[in-house]
Amino acid sequence: MAADENDPVVCITNPTSGVRRRDTIMRRIAAELPEAQCWSTRYPGHGIALGRQAVEDGYATVVAIGGDGTLSEVANGVLEAGGEKVRLAYVPAGTCNDFARGLRPVTDLGDLLDRTRDRETDVGTVTFTRPDGTRDQRYFLVSCTVGLISVIGQRFTEKTPVNRVLKRLNLQLAETTSSIRTLAGWRPVAVRLELDGEASHQSISNLAVLKVPYFAGGLTFGRTQPPRAGYLDAVRVSGVGRLGVAGLMWQVFRGAAAGHPAIHRQEVRTVCVDADSPLPVEVDGEIVGYTPAEFSIHPSCLTTVV
């Protein structure tokens, strides 16, 4: 079906996302989606409010322009407002664009209105503990981590001058620097884990709950295929100490982690994790709270366009 130019469209952009991309994106919107409204996020979490407002204002297509964090915020706002019938389009323009990795984004933004590009997308939910002890919930489209990588992610996303310079020079250099700082004091942690209701006690370095196979700007645990429809990919790293984890992370950075004996993968519908000392929970690149946390999948509840 050809693009429907009568669809009301709003573009939600993150002006601080990515490196040297904002001016180009704004020129493209003016040239390729001239009828679209343009809103910009002004603070962390603002994308949620703008996504909610877009649904309430009756927009048929909401375009998130930025990185995975921007997409995640806008998706949360859309879903919280009951906008399951709204089309959520994504223009990857951030530092990490893992949701769109492996896909073929449009070359002309006007093609985002083409309904033949629509696809029904599973959405994950995570319930976690806030610092004040209350419980909260978020939707996710990319990945969640608990443990080593969530701490690395926290340091990687810090808006420091050093991080900004490193990301401009080389994304993997910035990731490596954050990893080295974290690994220097890391120890495996004991957790209580439930995978589809099957409980166990384990010592792990990291737990990842994945909707897509990529994280942190194109890294993988050795697999480039997403989980089956209706499932999450639960990936545990266990059975290795600090040096073993350092070696594994080096292989992850090199794209050579496939078959590593410390990686344990299982496709599941639900995951629960808890620890004696609360662990940070990262959701689509943002630290949102702490364990205990529960993850689940909701099949085909969002229409996305890339």
The mean predicted confidence, pLDDT, of the chain is 88
Question: For the segment 180-217, what is each residue's pLDDT rounded down to a tens digit?
Answer: 777 777 888 999 999 999 999 999 999 999 999 998 88
Angstrom distance (rounded) from CA 169 to CA 107 = 26
- Calculate the CA 193 to chain-centre distance: 22
Q: Is residue 18's pLDDT more than 70?
A: no
Find the Cα–Cα–Cα–Cα dihedral 208, 209, 211, 215, rounded to 10°: -20
Angstrom distance (rounded) from CA 148 to CA 229 = 27
Contacts of 160 (CB under 8 A, 6+ apart): none
Angstrom distance (rounded) from CA 218 to CA 97 = 8
Bridge partner residues of 13 (DSSP) = 40, 65
Instruction: Give the model's confidence band at 102: pLDDT under 50 very low, under 70 low, under 90 confident, else very high.
Output: confident
DSSP states along 124-146: EEEEEE-TTS-EEEEEESSEEEE
Q: How far apart are the first and last CA of the chain?
A: 16
Question: For the segment 121-136, what is each residue's pLDDT rounded down to a tens digit?
Answer: 999 999 999 989 999 9
Q: pTM of the prediction?
A: 0.87
Instruction: Give the model's confidence band at 1: pLDDT under 50 very low, under 70 low, under 90 confident, else very high.
Output: very low
Q: Is residue 96's pLDDT more than 60?
A: yes
Which pair of structure tokens corresponds to residue 167? 């990301």
Nearest alpha-carbon partner for 44 in 25, 22, 17: 17
Give residue 2's pLDDT.
Answer: 42
Nearest alpha-carbon partner for 19 in 162, 160, 156, 165: 165
Inter-residue contact 152 to 182 (CB < 8 Å): yes
Angstrom distance (rounded) from CA 145 to CA 149 = 6
User: Is the C-alpha dihedral spanning 22, 28, 31, 36 positive or negative?
Assistant: negative
Angstrom distance (rounded) from CA 101 to CA 92 = 9
Give residue 149's pLDDT.
Answer: 81
Inter-residue contact 229 to 299 (CB < 8 Å): yes
Angstrom distance (rounded) from CA 214 to CA 203 = 24
Look-up: residue for tokens 């982690």?
257
Inter-residue contact 51 to 12 (CB < 8 Å): yes
Instruction: Give the model's confidence band at 3: pLDDT under 50 very low, under 70 low, under 90 confident, else very high.
Output: very low
What length does the chain have? 306
Give residue 5's pLDDT.
Answer: 53
Nearest alpha-carbon partner for 156 in 182, 174, 180: 174
